[in-house]
Structure 1
Amino acid sequence: MIKRIIIQNYRMYEKFDLELTSGVNIIVGDNDCGKSTLLEAVSLALTGRLHGRLLAQELSPYLFNERATRAYIEALQAGMAPQPPEIIIDLFLDDAKVPAALRGTNNLLAEDRPGVRIRVAPNPDFSLEYADFIKEPAKVNLIPTEYYTVDWLGFSGNGITFRSIPATASLIDATSIRLQSGADYYLQGIINESLEVRERVELSRAYRSLREQFSANPSVELINANLGGNQGDITDREFTLSIDLSQKSTWESSLVPHLDNLPFAYIGKGEQNCLKILLALKKKVTDAHILLIEEPENHLSYSRMNRLVRKIIEQCGDKQVLVATHSSYVLNKLGLDNLVLVSAVRGIRIADLPASTVDYFQKLSGYDTLRVILSKATLLVEGPSDELVVQRAYADRHDCLPIEHGIDVINVRGLAAKRFLDIARLLELRVAVVTDNDGKEPDKARERFKEYTTSAGITVHVGEDPAYPSLEQQIGAANDLNTLNSILKKSYSSKDELVEYMANPDNKTTCALAIFESKTPITMPKYINEAIDAVQ
């Protein structure tokens, strides 16, 4: 089991540190935040391979962190003598059943621990070539990986092989697979690995017998007879058509999996991905100690996702699992308490959430938990009408919707707001709550959120005047009758009547939509503008 991973200068990670748990670890983050890189780094450290090849064969300047590369080149061109950057991936393993050869202080923490390391560093054998290379710093634009070497080591400092590591990893990424001859090579590999030697022999024999059946077909006999009649014109030897069985494994590249009599390549992408992941789990869960699953939700409907998540839970058992996902459904069902929010520097655990909040999100899988986690900032509002009005207010201020600035507006009701604030408080996110005063003094209305407002990023915004308890009444107080009639295309003679119409539950969303879409200038209540300021 992996206890901790530290990454230095690999891809987007200049310095990254994350502790892992023994069960499921759900890796969540925005696009390009390093989720896939994290899974790749774990696999690389445990296998020594990248994209199926030894890392030394895949070594590229673009594997080095861009900031580290830029700092090195700038220092070089400034006349300094910087040390070339190194890539280091350290995996700290559980003490149980770890060979002594893997224990030592050769890690970034300099602690006596068991673990494995991938290190990409300058090769001393090329020191003269490197010195000659940097004589003209202006021409240096990338890391000279030609002068680097790859070391796969235990924390003892000794070289290791695949057999040295008491943990195996299996990376399952259905979306990166290319289809080939009906079935892709990955799926073929899974099927082949699932067959016993006797079954493979029987398949080969059955496939070979097809030659006799093919040649004995009356149509094929007629064609071959016609070809034989032209023997002298084409070749002096007998010329016929048949099935090529010259290769021992011909059947492996020719047999195509079918679902309900449809070739694999012709079924939907969602079904393809689901099948690949389930087949991989069925085979690899028994062989691998650590499973790495890349975005299992791709192309899947709600029902198919439900089945897949259930299978992951059932089959992974006591294995250590890392799942990278953008799906709230996957997150909620596999356990919000297993969440790791990945940034460019570290992973933050959410295991400290109140148990009731974790249980709440697990039961209400439709709630878009990830929206508050992945947004730059969030505005929590109490209903769909508030959501529309707040978005209009933001557009009036910034000439665009909040989502274009990475700010999400989420409609939550009642105590649900507190569930999201539990997440925001732990992860130090910026969240502004927009709520009605319900006829109470503002301080009294804010009191139900007082346990959260001690966090620097959380603010609560309430209409100041208790005489206007709802959003509609606050809008009515801020605007004149003509403006509201114009926006709503009404002709009320009394503002009270118009506000009563707006506040009617049957009309609230319709009126909010009219406000959202209208080109007529409108004055927004002060507390809404303050909430928008709070998330800038």
Structure 2
Amino acid sequence: MLSKIVIHNYRTFREFELDFDPEMNILVGDNDAGKSTILEAIELGLTGKLRGRPLYQDLSPYLFHQDAVSEWIADLREGRAVPPPEIIIDLFLDSTPEAATLRGNNNLLKADEPGVRIRVALNPDYEAEYKEFIKKPDEVRLIPTEYYKVDWLAFDGNGVTFRSIPASASLIDAANIHLQSGVDYYMKHIIDSRLKADERVKLTRAYRSLRETFAQDESIVKINGDLRGTSNDVSDRELTLNIDVSQKSSWESGIVPHLDDLPFQFVGKGEQSTLKILLALNKKVDDAHIVLVEEPENHLSFPNLGKLVKKISKKCEDQQVFITTHSSFVLNKLGLDKLVLLSPGGGFRIDRLPTSTQEYFKKLSGYDTLRLVLAKRSILVEGPSDELVVQRAYMDTHDGTLPAENGIDVINVRGLSFKRFLDIAMLLPGNRVAVITDNDGKEARDVRQRYANYTASANITVHVGKDANFKTMEPQLFKANGRVTMNAVLGQNFTTDQDLLDHMKKHKTDCALAIFESDQLINMPEYIKEAVDAVS
């Protein structure tokens, strides 16, 4: 299995290092954080191929980290003689007898461990051409990859092949299904793993016999009779129609899998995606097998996603699985302890959560844990009505802009879940999180004290209504605005404070929506303003 990856100058990553879990790795991150790049780099290290083709055939200037390229160009234009950028991907393997031949210290960490390396560097054979190329630095715009070479090496410095690496990989991109190549690959896997040698011979003979009988069909005999009598301006030879029965047109390319008698390529993408993922997980090989899955939630309904995730969790035994996802359902079911949060600057695991919190989120799969993980700034509220009011409070102080438009996520966590979410927030010091909670008739300082362990982290603040006589958000809004204003906002005409308060408590969501949509000037309670300021 893989134990670690170290990357230098490849795509999103300038310098990157990440340890792997031996079983499950769930990669999450914002757009362009490098989730797909990690899967791509793993596949490159194990196969030497990029998108199914040898890397040297698809070498592009845009595979290099753009900051490294910009610095190289700047150095050239300032007259400094610097070597051109290189790409290095180091994959570290577990120390097993099978990987012993790959051991060495030819890696970025200079560690004496087994592993393989992809190195893209200037080819010494083109040194003269390269020097001529950089004589006019003002004309240099991109890396001259035509002067580069790709080395696929073990950590001992020797070249490797597929056979010398005791690990194989299957990359399944659920969003990009190439029907025919996918069918061929997986059909071949089924055949190789299930059919005996004599069964393959029988199948080949049967398939050829069927093709040979094609020409004996009455309609084909008639057509060929007509063709024989046709003059041919191209050749003097006799023209007929038949099926190629040569070895190159074997049954592997003519037989395709069917699901309920429907050819695979005509099955829905969700079913195709599920089938490919499960076939990859079912793959039985003598060496370690790595399964790389791109966003399994694509093309799947929620019930079918649930079935797939359950099967993935059962079938990943003895295999190492890497999954990228934006789905809290996938994350919660497969385990927060397996989460790897990625950014261009690095990656780290959230495996330090209390066990009770991990179990809590596994059971409550509908909770948007990834919203908190991915958002740089969040406001946690107790319910849907609170969410609407907070959004209105933000809009009032930001020229009508919604929080989401400025990258702030207002998340309804249903009150009692605050501490569960804050367990996650404590491990994300770069993410600012503000909590808005009711005092429920208690002093604000006592409520805040319940969260003292969390607010010790600089990125977490807790905001509570100060007057214990106004227990929830609705009375707090009433206190800040009065009966006349709230009647106008809600379109009501209550004559007593108590009647209006009772109405607001009984119709929380309707009142919150009216507040959110109102053109009336509304005074927000101070603790809500403070929470908005804390993340702004």
- Interval of TM-score (by shorter of Structure 1 and Structure 2): over 0.9
Contact 1:309–1:334 (8 Å) recurs in 2: yes
Q: Which amino acid aligns with 1:170?
A: S
Q: How far off is 1:180 after superposition?
A: 3.5
Contact 2:393–2:524 (8 Å) recurs in 1: yes
SS class of match (2:453): coil
Q: Which amino acid aligns with 2:470?
A: Y
**1:520 aligns to what?**
520
Contact 1:293–1:322 (8 Å) recurs in 2: yes
Contact 2:381–2:410 (8 Å) recurs in 1: yes
Q: How far off is 1:456 after superposition?
A: 0.8
SS class of match (1:452): helix
Q: Which amino acid aligns with 2:377?
A: A
C-alpha distance in 1 between matches for 2:421 and 2:285: 34
Give 1:121-140 correspondences, 5 Å limit. 121-140=121-140
C-alpha distance in 1 between matches for 2:404 and 2:512: 18
Q: How many correspondences in the alignment? A: 532
SS class of match (1:275): helix
**1:79 aligns to what?**
79
- Taking a change above 3 Å as real, the CA distance of residues 483 and 244 of structure 1, as seen in their structure-2 partners, is farther
Q: How far off is 1:413 after superposition?
A: 2.1
**2:487 aligns to what?**
485
C-alpha distance in 2 between matches for 1:325 and 1:356: 23
C-alpha distance in 2 between matches for 1:389 and 1:334: 34
**1:280 aligns to what?**
280
Q: How far off is 1:387 after superposition?
A: 0.9
Q: How far off is 1:250 after superposition?
A: 4.2
Q: Which amino acid aligns with 1:472?
A: E
C-alpha distance in 2 between matches for 1:473 and 1:409: 21
Match of 1:433 among 415, 435, 445: 435
SS class of match (1:520): coil
Contact 2:183–2:257 (8 Å) recurs in 1: no
Answering whether residue 109 of structure 2 is matched by residue 109 of structure 1, we say yes
Q: How far off is 1:352 after superposition?
A: 0.6
Contact 2:340–2:347 (8 Å) recurs in 1: yes
SS class of match (1:120): strand
Q: Among the aligned pairs, what percent are the same residue?
A: 60
C-alpha distance in 2 between matches for 1:220 and 1:125: 59
SS class of match (1:281): helix
**1:369 aligns to what?**
369
Contact 1:190–1:280 (8 Å) recurs in 2: no
520-529 or 353-362, which moves further after superposition?
520-529
SS class of match (2:341): strand
What is the alpha-carbon root mean square deviation over aligned residues?
2.3
Q: How far off is 1:46 after superposition?
A: 1.9
Q: How far off is 1:371 after superposition?
A: 1.0
Contact 1:97–1:166 (8 Å) recurs in 2: no
Contact 2:166–2:287 (8 Å) recurs in 1: no
**1:449 aligns to what?**
451
Contact 1:118–1:150 (8 Å) recurs in 2: yes
Q: How far off is 1:419 after superposition?
A: 0.7
Match of 1:466 among 461, 465, 468: 468
- Taking a change above 3 Å as real, the CA distance of residues 367 and 215 of structure 1, as seen in their structure-2 partners, is same
**1:359 aligns to what?**
359
- Taking a change above 3 Å as real, the CA distance of residues 225 and 97 of structure 1, as seen in their structure-2 partners, is same
**1:5 aligns to what?**
5
C-alpha distance in 2 between matches for 1:471 and 1:312: 43
C-alpha distance in 1 between matches for 2:473 and 2:483: 16
Q: How far off is 1:92 after superposition?
A: 2.2
- Taking a change above 3 Å as real, the CA distance of residues 191 and 473 of structure 1, as seen in their structure-2 partners, is same
Q: How far off is 1:494 after superposition?
A: 2.6
SS class of match (1:311): helix
Gaps of 5+ in 1: none
SS class of match (1:426): coil
79-88 or 161-170, which moves further after superposition?
161-170
Contact 1:44–1:50 (8 Å) recurs in 2: yes
- Taking a change above 3 Å as real, the CA distance of residues 158 and 444 of structure 1, as seen in their structure-2 partners, is same
C-alpha distance in 2 between matches for 1:152 and 1:379: 48
Give 1:169-208 correspondences, 5 Å limit. 169-180=169-180, 184-194=183-193, 196=195, 197-208=197-208
C-alpha deviations, 1:19-75, integer Å up to 9, x for none? 112111111112211011001111211222222222222211111001111111122
Contact 2:184–2:252 (8 Å) recurs in 1: no
C-alpha distance in 2 between matches for 1:169 and 1:262: 29
C-alpha distance in 2 between matches for 1:401 and 1:490: 27
Contact 1:15–1:345 (8 Å) recurs in 2: yes
Contact 2:212–2:243 (8 Å) recurs in 1: no
C-alpha distance in 1 between matches for 2:248 and 2:184: 17
C-alpha deviations, 1:277-326, integer Å up to 9, x for none? 11222235665432222212211122222222222222221222211111
C-alpha distance in 1 between matches for 2:490 and 2:345: 49
Give 1:50-449 correspondences, 5 Å limit. 50-97=50-97, 99-180=99-180, 184-194=183-193, 196=195, 197-227=197-227, 230-232=229-231, 239-283=239-283, 288-398=288-398, 399-428=400-429, 429-449=431-451
Q: Which amino acid aligns with 2:489?
A: I
C-alpha distance in 2 between matches for 1:186 and 1:98: 26
- Taking a change above 3 Å as real, the CA distance of residues 110 and 238 of structure 1, as seen in their structure-2 partners, is closer
- Taking a change above 3 Å as real, the CA distance of residues 276 and 290 of structure 1, as seen in their structure-2 partners, is closer
480-489 or 239-248, which moves further after superposition?
239-248
**1:40 aligns to what?**
40
